[in-house]
Structure 1
Amino acid sequence: HARDELQGVPLSGIVVVSDGGDNTDEAIGDALLPLRAASVPVFTVGVGDEEMEADVQASRVDVPETALTGTSMVVNVMVDSRGYAGRTVPIVVEDMGRIVTTEMVELPADGQPLVAPVAITLETPGARELAFRIPGQSGERVLENNVLHSVVQVRDRTEKILYFEGEPRHEVAFMLRAVRADENLQVVLLQRTAENKFFRRNLDDPLELVEGFPTTREDLYRYRALVLGSIEASFFTHDQLDMMADFVSERGGTLLMLGGRRALAEGGYKGTPLEDVLPVVLDEPTGSTPTERLAFVKVSPTPGGANHPITRIESTVEESAARWDSLPPVSTTNLITELKPGATELLQGVVVESPGAAPGAVGAAEDAAGLESTGDAGDRVVMAFQRYGRGRSMVLAVQDTWLWQMDSTVPLEDLSHENFWRQLMRWLVAETPDPVEAAPAQVTVEAGEPVTLEATVLDAGFVEVNGAAVNARVTLPTGETRNVPMEWSVSEDGRYTADFTPDMDGIFEVSVDAGRDTVTFGNAETSVRVAPGTEEFRDPRQRVSLMERIAEETGGRYYTPETAANLPEDLQFTGGGVTVTEERDLWDMPILFLLLAGLMGGEWVYRRKRGLA
């Protein structure tokens, strides 16, 4: 900023008094290049401690941009601390100033970051400002870095999921019953009952899916997630298989494939477009019968899945682990043991004795595959997911989770099955984009700082739309609204931008509508938080190495507060551009005296000739 404001002025040097904290996106090397080119040295005076003796900082929080009302989220809060190893502190979560939960954590040794999973549930729709706060501790000098703010768009709407099942089985009825009471989920069922005969349920329109599984992208892309049950790959045309792969990679939807005798490798999906989409490695089919492949697995969360919002079926991690341990084994006919690179395993299964088997026996699939009867050899991938293109894919490789509700060992009041499926279905639609999406370039700004709104507009087939009429309606914290037209960015298809400048603190809610002629493409909602910046308080210590680098690369010198008294003297010998001011009396400058005398004499001659003297 100093360089820009003093552009064109000869400088002997620039003096910077700072702790070296850099809260801009510009690389420091790029900022120094013009100064080096102009031979302007920078003299840096470092202030602050190189290391804070006692400090607690909320460094980062991973909060989704949107959520359905009533969704249970597990938010990871990263905490850095020094001087408080072993101390137990609370992480207090506030929703618009109201405390919604408190998580107690033990601070680690100095220099070791702590990632604390915090479970929260948001019930009120709209733009919700969340604060993750750690109370100040004794001896802390900087308290501004103890809190992080985030804004979540909580949506109260119904999300449609298409569930295609290839045969009648108990899993269908119990899964639908588990999510029936959730008003934010609509699971549309298409179940094959015989050759070219289907049972349809939970439809919006009597003609929906009347011809069976969708054959066009527009029909499939109206759903936000797709669940495939025990249905063989040969049922679909190659175009439909390609379309389902594009549903994930291009539309951004989520695909869930359930276990079953006609699913995964046993369903012939190896070598199809969906093989690349799935998060697990499909082996060659063994040719064995479903009865021969049948195995019973005891399911438990993996270390990476213990705190996942799907598998956390109780209020705490410990209670959830105990609940999983109490659930009965379930069966599988799909031998899945290997993940793809980048996939995340949430649930694992250890093969246990099947009913009537001798102690220590494993399933027939292990015998057919030549596996030994060891715990590791019997481990199965039960549930895993990965990102694929714009969307996500998941595999749940068991076929009778309904046993978690109906087995004789499960208490009548146990809601593990219902919680699991409700949280799973909500996770499937959590990140699926709409045809119209909007977001600010910066989610938090200060009052008076310009904000750039960005929107993406797609049609029903999720193809970019140019030349649409796009308008952003901005609602101020006072309730007043402003309309901000958005212009198409010619450099990028389907992208629209607009600028506005908030003039007060608070949450600015933005609603974006897009259409063309009589066609409406959709609506998107986002928000901007306006508040004083706190970036300068992050990691409050002096970056000596950065201050020394700035001085060294520009020909200046680094000072501490103790040596800063030498700075004025050093500035006199910089050799940089200097402006010297010299004052003289007018009569000491002959040329100006003669010019003035000539002008006065010329005037007298002129007046004499005109008779004016």
Structure 2
Amino acid sequence: IPAGLFIRSQSGDSSAKDVTAEFTVGADSVGSYSFSVRAKALGREVNLANNIRSTMIEVVEETRLKVLLYTQVANFNIGKIRQVLARDEKIELDLGMDVIRAPALAENASRTFGYVDLPEDRQGFNKYDIIILGPCELDALTDAQIAGLYGFVVERGGGLVLLPGKAEFGPAGWKNRKIKSLIPVIFDPDNPTIWPSSPGQIELTLEAADSKVISPSALRDYKEPAFPYYRIVNPKPASTTLALIKETPVISVHRVGRGRVCLLNASKIFRWYREDIEGGLLYRIMAGLTAHMGRITAREALIELFAERAAGQENKVKFEAYVCDSSFVPVAGANVLLSMQDEVLSMHQVSQGYYVAEVENVRDQSIIATAQAEISGVFLGEKTIAVNLPSARTEMANVELDEKFLRELAKKLDGKYFHADDIGDNGSQMFETRTLMGSSQRMMSIWPSWLILFIICMILSVSWFLRRAIGLV
């Protein structure tokens, strides 16, 4: 690591079986950075090939997520969520409030305060990276709006955050099957709302720590009890629970198609806000959720890129790209360029929307690659990936595993076996050079087999008598 970039490190209990070490490293400029971590061998460790791991990180200019916060009900929760979203520098926020029922007053408020309408079709939804739905009556939306919202998650890969609401204005009251399939939990059909409220402390799950959405430090400044809103029977099989209040999931996330949907199942969310500590718990939760949910930006929505080592060819990496148009239909005949380090390749089409390229002589354990696609002069998008590949196997990759064979071989050849760790720097002095001179004699018969000589003589004799008999001699 270059001098000045290493900031700090933190290690776990060294006596534990599994130890986690965290490193904080700064980046002084935009670009690619390669890092390697090596673990010191312990005793007579056999396989040293897995003691080192390398990775590459691409530092890019921060891309702002385009977020739509839409609600049909004005309350304190919406107001505080709007404040923390506006505070987050990585977010470009649009606010849609269909609260005023009188058309003239609603239009005047939209012009004055810059409110936006809920998109009418798929293209309108797809321009956002994340959509946060406050209390709203989704069953009253048009078929095009419901199809657009569903496609935004499943096909576009967008992030959808659902907030609770009363009756038909909340997820538990929605009837549309497409919309209900997006909800990550199953509500109690008889009594979906918890009443009277049952407050408790927010507890993070192991999945929350693993996902980095919420850290335990985010709860240190919040000691007040929190209130779950809905009574949940079960999370759906593919759902991940990040936080609980008395065994009731309050933050649940699951993946639907390419996108993710999160249910924030809590009432009185506005109490999580703290102006004196930069938004408090509410800011940290929303910042973590938006970063987690908005993984596929609009620029990356139409192209996916994957990389793996080619089967049976350790030094060759195979890249696969899937390219779609704005309707998420696989595109044929697109111009797809792959960039890796200083090399630029054209990916050839295998089938409609499926493009492949192979790069040889890649021994690095981690790589960064970018694919860009266009068709008929229309830019479709680009995708950058940082991939950790399995280590390339070489002739000397696993010599430690052959120790038993080498010992047997040395014994057969009347030699000696030395482990590499036992030789050290003075290995050459272990072997004394000597010069040996000598002579040897061995007498060999010119005819190793007398039978062969006898047969040759017989053949020559018979040939001579035959030639004499016919007068040739």
Normalised by the size of structure 1, how large is the TM-score?
0.56
Q: 1:168-247 residue pairs with structure 2 within 5 A?
A: 168-195=74-101, 197=106, 212-247=117-152
The 5-angstrom pairing of residues 447-526 of structure 1 reads 449-476=315-342, 482-490=343-351, 493-502=352-361, 509-526=368-385
CA–CA distance in structure 2, aligned partners of residues 391 and 128 of structure 1: 29
Give the letter for the 1:170 counterpart: F
Q: Any gaps of 5 or more consecutive residues in structure 2?
A: 414-447, 461-473
Residues 170 and 538 of structure 1: is their aligned pair in 2 closer, same or farther, counting only changes over 3 Å?
farther
| 2:302 aligned residue | 435
Q: 1:454 is paired with a residue of what secondary structure?
A: strand
Contact 2:244 2:250 in 1 (8 A): yes
Rounded to whole Å, the distance in 1 between the matches of 2:401 and 2:382 is: 45
Which residues in structure 2 correspond to 1:143-542 (within 5 Å)?
Answer: 143-155=48-60, 156-195=62-101, 197=106, 212-262=117-167, 268-270=173-175, 272-284=177-189, 286=191, 294-312=197-215, 314=217, 320=218, 322-323=220-221, 326-350=222-246, 379-406=247-274, 412=277, 415-430=280-295, 434-442=301-309, 449-476=315-342, 482-490=343-351, 493-502=352-361, 509-526=368-385, 533=392
Q: Is the 2:305–2:322 Cα contact (8 Å) retained in structure 1?
A: yes
Q: Counterparts of 2:400 and 2:251 in 1: how far apart (Å)?
A: 42
- Residue 597 of structure 1 aligns with which residue? none
Q: Give unmatched runs, 5+ long, in structure 1.
A: 1-93, 315-319, 351-378, 477-481, 545-558, 568-582, 594-613
Identical positions, percent? 20
**Is residue 85–residue 286 contact of structure 2 (8 Å, CA) maintained in 1?**
yes
The residue that corresponds to 1:77 in the other structure is: none
Q: Give RMSD over aligned pairs.
A: 4.6
1:575-594 equivalences in 2 (<5 Å): none
Question: Which one is further off, 448-457 or 132-141?
Answer: 132-141
Is the 8 Å Cα contact of residues 327 and 404 (structure 1) preserved in structure 2?
no
Instruction: Give the aligned residue type for 2:289.
Output: L
CA distance in 2, matches of 1:508, 1:184: 26
Structure-2 change in CA distance of 1:104 and 1:514 (3 Å): same
- Cα pair 1:293 1:333 within 8 Å, conserved: no
Shift of 1:397: 0.8
Cα deviation digits, residues 194-252 of structure 1 (max 9, x gap): 23647669x9xx9xx96x32232222122222221111232323443343333323322
Distance in 1, matches of 2:224 and 2:84, equals 18
Secondary structure of 1:344 counterpart? strand
Tell me the number of residue pairs that the alignment of Structure 1 and Structure 2 aligns: 413
Change (3 A) 1:119 1:309: farther
Residue 311 of structure 1 and its aligned partner are, at CA, apart by 1.7
Determine which structure has greater relative contact order: mean sequence separation of CA pairs < 8 Å that are 6+ residues apart, divided by chain length. 1
Whether the 8 Å CA contact 2:72–2:136 is kept in 1: the answer is yes
How many angstroms apart in 2 are the aligned matches of 1:419 and 1:287? Answer: 28
User: What is the distance in 2 between the residues matched to 1:119 and 1:523?
Assistant: 30
Q: What is the CA distance between 1:466 and its match in structure 2?
A: 0.8
Task: Give a deviation string over 1:121-174, Cα, whole Å, max 9, x none.
Answer: 876644343434444556657654322122344442122222222211222332
Against the structure 1 CA distance between its residues 152 and 191, is the aligned structure 2 distance closer, same or farther, given a 3 Å change threshold?
farther
Deviation of 1:287 (Å): 9.0
Find the structure with the greater CA-based Rg.
2
**Structure 1 residues 386, 245: closer, same or farther in 2, change over 3 A?**
same
Taking the aligned partners of 2:389 and 2:226, their CA distance within structure 1 comes to 51
Tell me if the contact between 1:279 and 1:385 (Cα under 8 Å) persists in the aligned partners: yes
Could you say if the C-alpha distance between residues 434 and 267 of structure 1 is closer, same or farther in structure 2, counting changes exceeding 3 Å? same
Secondary structure, in 3 states, of the residue corresponding to 2:99? strand
Q: Deviations over 1:573-598 (max 9, x none)?
A: xxxxxxxxxx999xx999xx9xxxxx
Does the 8 Å CA contact 2:205/2:241 hold for their aligned counterparts?
yes
1:114 corresponds in structure 2 to 18
Contact 2:46 2:401 in 1 (8 A): no
CA contact (8 A) 1:132 1:149 kept: yes
Q: In 2, are the aligned partners of 1:296 and 1:330 still within 8 Å (CA)?
A: yes
CA distance in 1, matches of 2:167, 2:21: 38
Compared with structure 1, are the counterparts of its residues 532 and 422 closer, same or farther at alpha carbon in structure 2 (3 Å cutoff)?
closer
CA 527–299 in structure 1, closer or farther in 2 if over 3 Å, else same: closer
Q: Encode CA deviations 1:71-117: one digit per residue, 9 max, x unaligned.
A: xxxxxxxxxxxxxxxxxxxxxxx6999545423123567xxx62738
Structure with more helix by fraction: 2
Contact 1:232 1:267 in 2 (8 A): no
Aligned to 2:416: none
CA distance in 1 between partners of 2:305 and 2:124 (Å) = 24
Name the CA distance, whole Å, in 2 between partners of 1:539 and 1:259. 60
Q: How far does the alpha carbon of each residue in 1:386-445 deviate from its partner, in whole angstroms, 9 at most, with x for none? A: 222222221111133221224xxx9657733322221121111125652123333339x9
